[in-house]
Amino acid sequence: MDKLACQVQDVKSRQLLHFYAHMSREADLWRKYCVHKIFEITYLFVRKDARGKGLAARLVKESRINAADCGFHLTKVDATSHYTALIAEKQKLKLVADIPYCSYVGADQEPIFKPSDPHKSAKIYVDEEPQKNSLKKV
């Protein structure tokens, strides 16, 4: 991800890609879970006019089912929004990393991202047993 970020001209996009690489290093899921592949739910967006209808929760649920169907032993959800974190918590996913946005700083020691409330941190959640959990009603 860092290599890709270095090739991106747009500064904001480059910073975002570097941050996602940072998140991946912080969670260190490959080492913690000794897996060869991880199903990642990284970018979860719902258009503003379609929000509040349960679409994001359904996308996470259906993605977890797809992960199980494809044989993944670990599903990861990057919750860069407070609302995505609430979805992950409601679906009983395990929190494995919580990275406050204020702790991710640039060369000038100033935070790179300053999102509005209630978005205070990026959180990483996992479903450790997608095959088992896809059979339950989530």
Encode 45-114 in three state secondary structure. CCCHHHCCCCHHHHHHHHHHHHHHHCCCCCEEEEECCHHHHHHHHHCCCEEEEEEEHHHCECCCCCECCC
Per-residue pLDDT for 112 more than 60?
A: yes
From 33, 41, 37, select the one nearest 61 (Cα to Cα): 41
d(CA 125, CA 89): 8
Q: What is the pTM of this model?
A: 0.88
**For residues 40-56, average pLDDT:** 92
Name the class of domain 2-135.
alpha beta
> How high is the pLDDT of residue 138?
46
From 36, 56, 33, select the one nearest 45 (Cα to Cα): 56
**For residues 17-24, average pLDDT:** 92
Question: Confidence band (pLDDT; 50, 70, 90) for 136?
Answer: low
Q: CB atoms < 10 A from the CB of 78, how many?
A: 22
> How high is the pLDDT of residue 22?
93
Question: Confidence band (pLDDT; 50, 70, 90) for 134?
Answer: low
The identity of residue 86, as a single letter, is L
**For residues 85-90, average pLDDT:** 96
DSSP 116: P
Kindly report which listed range (39-48, 114-123, 128-137) carries the lowest average pLDDT score.
128-137
Q: CB atoms < 10 A from the CB of 88, how many?
A: 24
> How high is the pLDDT of residue 129?
79
